Structure 1
Amino acid sequence: MKPELQRRVQRYGWDKAAKFYENSWQTQLKPAHDLLLENVEIKPGDSILDIAAGTGLITFQMAKLLGPSGRIIATDISDEMIKIGTATAQSNRFSNVEFKQMDAEILSFKNSSFDMVTCSLGLMYLPDPDRALQEMYRVLKPGGKVVVVVWGSRKRCGWAEIFPIVDARVSSDVCPMFFQLGEGENLNYPFKKAGFENFTLKKISTNLHYNTADEACQASFLGGPVAMAYSRFDEKTRNEAQQEFRASIESFKTKSGYDIPGEFVVSFGYKPILA
């Protein structure tokens, strides 16, 4: 898929997914968000850039740690995600949070603008993750820290069949390189290429719990990266795709619902002080 097409698919796909995202994923992504928060080392008064922030699930948790003297700018390619995040910030009176629609590969900030840059579960969707990390490096202050979380190995993510199920029904792959960064120590390489030092990689295994197969289908088809493709399916195709996905997660059924395996990978590093 050409980069410009991939960006358009992601932008409008997440617009479609925005209203389902939090209810479908907030609980399931908590281990990933906790992993990021364990490694950010936020100090009151810091300036933070949160990239691919979605509706702000991690943004608002960090904002509470910053205090009124700090600031956090949350960016996302989806206008609908930004609208929801902005409304949440206003309704909850977060004066230190601002949401901006922005491409992660072309950040409209000056060099050395932030003490920290975070990106939770967004890097896998970008056409050029290397370029995005280079932009993160550029906008970080010398000595600043970047923390990135991605999904882990495909074989450790029990919901992964959603991609071939959808890809079989569309003209081009939805997220062709989705699991690449989470395999082995692959995430270290773009960190090194961008110029970061003292980077560290950690992995955790978890289960994504859904009470019913319907909940799992809503998360996967309506609240995630295949939402735009799924929206264009006719009823027959939707039913067929859902049946295939239900079959793919049947082995994870428990007495209380579905516990679908997942893996998260966090990598963090620093911009050299003399950079």
Structure 2
Amino acid sequence: MNESLKGTTRAQWDRAAPGWNAHGSLIGAWLARATEGMLGMAGIGPGSQVLDVAAGAGEQTMTIARRVGPTGRVLATDLSPVILALAEDNAQSAGWAHVRTQVADGEDLQVEPASFDAVVCRLGLMFFGDPLCGLIEMHRALRPGGRICTMVFSQPEHNPCITALMSIATKHAGFPAPDPYTQGGLLSLGRPGLIDAQFSAAGFRDVATTRVDAPFRMPSVRAYLDLVRTSASPIQQILCHLDEAGRARAWADMEEALSHYATPWGWEGPNELLLTAGRR
């Protein structure tokens, strides 16, 4: 990723940080089953030394900290200093002295080689300008035999809410219809076989991907869109080109489109995730 694009990405997540952190428990509940699967596939247990890449506000970092216990160690990294400061505050509030944070580009982690037992990256790798470069860095950080697991969204047809949000936002902004697999986008690593190939190219062995159904359950579609408004940086980036009235029209169209997923007990948006594991 070139420096200009990295600067834009950093600024986006700096702005989205408060909203992402405020919804941490909601996001954690949505991803709970997938996160437990990710940590298990990475072989994380008591005493593990873990690198959490693109950690965001650190909701999953806290889960890792509980899992490794006081004899373990967790280093949380992120490109955004603002969101990572929130992760540090959350760790301190929880009393986790074995958690540290470090502002770092995922494609240049600035960690000692072969210094971790496990590496995880939850919903971050797809935003990398060069995910293979990021995976090579994660491979370098692992001790021989160490394990990795990443979580990304699968292909567009299994993530219709994301597809609808992106297509409606770009239509209102006057942008061309998005290619869902555009590098750095939400669904960029969802093409079948792509992430496995990148893991293998980075030097990992025993590579395997598991699909995980992860529906997002909310009281209403409006509650879901309130979450997206405050914490979904890619959507914010598109809609920032519109005036207030234009943004209101876009959100209204999104609400109408996603109302299709209303249920008798609330709203349930389909999502499918890919957990990809490997070993150095």
TM (normalized to structure 2)? 0.89
Is residue 2:165 matched to residue 1:162?
A: yes
Q: Which amino acid aligns with 2:112?
A: K
Q: In structure 2, which of residues 183, 193, 198 is the aligned counterpart of residue 185 of structure 1?
A: 193
Q: CA deviation at 1:3?
A: 3.4
Q: CA deviation at 1:251?
A: 1.2
CA contact (8 A) 1:163 1:174 kept: no
Q: In structure 2, which of residues 134, 139, 145 is the aligned counterpart of residue 143 of structure 1?
A: 145
State the distance in 2 between where 1:48 and 1:74 align: 9
CA contact (8 A) 2:31 2:214 kept: no
The residue number in structure 2 matching 1:245 is 254
The residue number in structure 1 matching 2:267 is 258
Aligned pairs (5 A) from 1:56-75? 56-75=58-77
For structure 2, the residue ranges without an aligned partner over 5 or more in a row are none
Is residue 2:34 matched to residue 1:26?
A: no
Aligned pairs (5 A) from 1:77-226? 77-160=79-162, 161-168=164-171, 169=173, 176-177=182-183, 178=185, 179-225=187-233, 226=235
State the distance in 1 between where 2:7 and 2:230 align: 17
Q: CA deviation at 1:67?
A: 1.6
Q: CA deviation at 1:185?
A: 2.1
CA contact (8 A) 1:196 1:269 kept: yes
State the distance in 2 between where 1:269 and 1:233 align: 42
CA contact (8 A) 2:28 2:60 kept: no
State the distance in 2 between where 1:117 and 1:96 align: 16
Q: CA deviation at 1:19?
A: 1.4
Higher helix fraction (1 or 2) = 2
Change (3 A) 1:174 1:57: farther
State the distance in 1 between where 2:120 and 2:61 align: 9
Q: Report % sequence identity.
A: 26
Q: Which amino acid aligns with 1:65?
A: R
Aligned pair count? 270
Q: CA deviation at 1:150?
A: 0.5
Q: CA deviation at 1:231?
A: 4.6
State the distance in 2 between where 1:122 and 1:254 align: 30
Change (3 A) 1:249 1:12: same
Change (3 A) 1:136 1:54: same
Q: In structure 2, which of residues 39, 42, 49 is the aligned counterpart of residue 40 of structure 1?
A: 42
Structure 1 SS opposite 2:40: helix
Q: CA deviation at 1:148?
A: 0.7
| Greater mean deviation of Cα atoms: 90-99 or 42-51 | 42-51
Greater RCO (CA < 8 Å, at least 6 residues apart): 1
Is residue 2:12 matched to residue 1:13?
A: yes
| Greater mean deviation of Cα atoms: 180-189 or 159-168 | 159-168
Q: Which amino acid aligns with 1:196?
A: F
CA contact (8 A) 1:48 1:72 kept: yes
Q: CA deviation at 1:174?
A: 11
Q: Summarize deviations over 1:55-98 as a string: whole Å, max 9, x none.
A: 11111111111121211100111122111111111111101101
TM (normalized to structure 1)? 0.91
State the distance in 1 between where 2:217 and 2:42 align: 26
State the distance in 1 between where 2:16 and 2:265 align: 26
CA contact (8 A) 1:130 1:190 kept: yes
State the distance in 2 between where 1:56 and 1:69 align: 19
Q: Summarize deviations over 1:12-70 as a string: whole Å, max 9, x none.
A: 11112111114153322223313212322223222110001111111111111112121
Q: Which amino acid aligns with 1:223?
A: S
Q: CA deviation at 1:232?
A: 5.3
CA contact (8 A) 1:162 1:220 kept: no
Q: CA deviation at 1:245?
A: 1.0
For structure 1, the residue ranges without an aligned partner over 5 or more in a row are none
